[in-house]
Chains A and B, each alone.
Chain A
Amino acid sequence: MSGLQVLAALNLGEPGASSVLVGYAVTFGVIGAYTARLVARARRLSQRVPDEDKPWT
């Protein structure tokens, strides 16, 4: 049984449950993608500035 099926079995057996799950998956997927892009950008730029010059270190 997949993770989504487990969630569905808990409380989402009603009509529309699958579309709600897709909505949640899309929302969290988009949040994850934006966060990953931000972290990657931070790491890439961070390599070009010495640590001692960064105000937060």
Chain B
Amino acid sequence: MSASGLRGTGTGASRVLGGLAAAGLLWVVVFGLVLSPPDAVQGEYVRYLYLHVPAAWLAYLSFGITALASGLYLWRRTRSLGWDRLAGASAEIGVFFTGLCLLTGSLWGKKTWGTYWAWDARLTTTALLFLLFLGYLALRRIPALPEVRAKRAAIAGLVAFIDVPIVHKSVEWWRTLHQPATVKVEDAEIDGLMLFSLFVGVVAFTLLFAWLLLHRTRVAWLEDEVEARGLDLAIAERLAEGRAVDAAATEGPEVRA
């Protein structure tokens, strides 16, 4: 592998960010599994929430970035394929963390509610969010000119984002099995160390998200660049073939014995 290949999409700053994210995740394990006390009602299962809540936060954040970048792409003054790449990268990471949110939530639900899944408003709207953005990613994979792909993906991203506030408000709008927000700005109904563990989880996952987003956006740039270079090469080959055929025709047919 060449030095360029080994370097990949990393830079000095991204390595520092990656190191911070890794250290943060280690702290999540330490606080989540060791330092944080068991809950009076949920017992040890409360520890799932130090993964579940940060994953849910990242789902909101990533789809929010997708919507913002989509809007910036659609606005003529700021139109750039860079926004499209950022939107796609953030959506992919968002789908990943929404999946993790559903996974950790269902593990927690099995132990506390007695079931992995219930057709509850929060769970159902979250599953819908997951499917909407999976559809968004599938739409991006349909072959098209970069500008065409970017425009339709931007519209789809904005439409899919409508589900995010619905997910967030679902516990207030409907009677749900899922508990309402535990951490509120004015009054947190949670033990100090548990709250801090949750905070550590949110910070660590956000650092991880920033690192992943940086690299995924650069990978998207590389994908577009490799595709463009491949197309240029194919066009050059076809032109060379065409010139060879023209030259052969100009020289006239060979007389064979």
Contact = CB atoms under 8 A, between A and B. Distances in A.
A47 to B, nearest CB: 4
Contact of A46 (B5, B104, B216): B5
A6 to B, nearest CB: 10
Where chain B touches its partner, the secondary structure class is helix
B34 A11 contact: yes
Contacts of B107: 19, 23
Given A10-B34, A14-B38, A48-B229, 16 more contacts: A16-B111, A17-B44, A19-B107, A19-B111, A20-B33, A21-B33, A27-B51, A38-B215, A42-B9, A42-B10, A46-B4, A46-B8, A49-B222, A49-B225, A49-B229, A51-B7
Interface of A: 7, 10-12, 14-17, 19-21, 23-24, 26-28, 30-31, 34-35, 38-39, 41-51, 53-57
A45 B29 contact: no
Contact of B45 (A20, A51, A53): A20
Contact of A7 (B7, B33, B216): B33
Interface string B211-223: 0100110110111
A23 B51 contact: yes
B142 interface: no
Nearest to A44: B5
The 5 closest A-B pairs by CB, nearest first: A47-B5, A45-B222, A42-B8, A42-B9, A16-B44
Contacts of A42: 8-10, 215, 218-219, 222
Interface residues of B, number: 42
B1 A43 contact: yes
Interface in B1-50: 1-2, 4-11, 25, 29, 32-35, 37-38, 43-45, 47-48
B208 interface: yes
A47 B4 contact: yes
Interface of B: 1-2, 4-11, 25, 29, 32-35, 37-38, 43-45, 47-48, 51, 96, 100, 103-104, 107, 111, 208, 212, 215-216, 218-219, 221-223, 225-226, 229
Nearest to B38: A14
A38 B1 contact: no
Contacts of B25: 28, 31
Nearest to B18: A35
B226 A7 contact: no
Contacts of A45: 219, 222-223, 226
Given A20-B44, A24-B51, A35-B212, A46 B33 contact: no
A40 to B, nearest CB: 9
A23 B8 contact: no
17 contacts: A11-B33, A11-B38, A14-B44, A16-B43, A19-B45, A38-B215, A39-B215, A42-B10, A45-B219, A47-B4, A48-B226, A49-B4, A51-B4, A53-B225, A54-B218, A54-B221, A54-B222
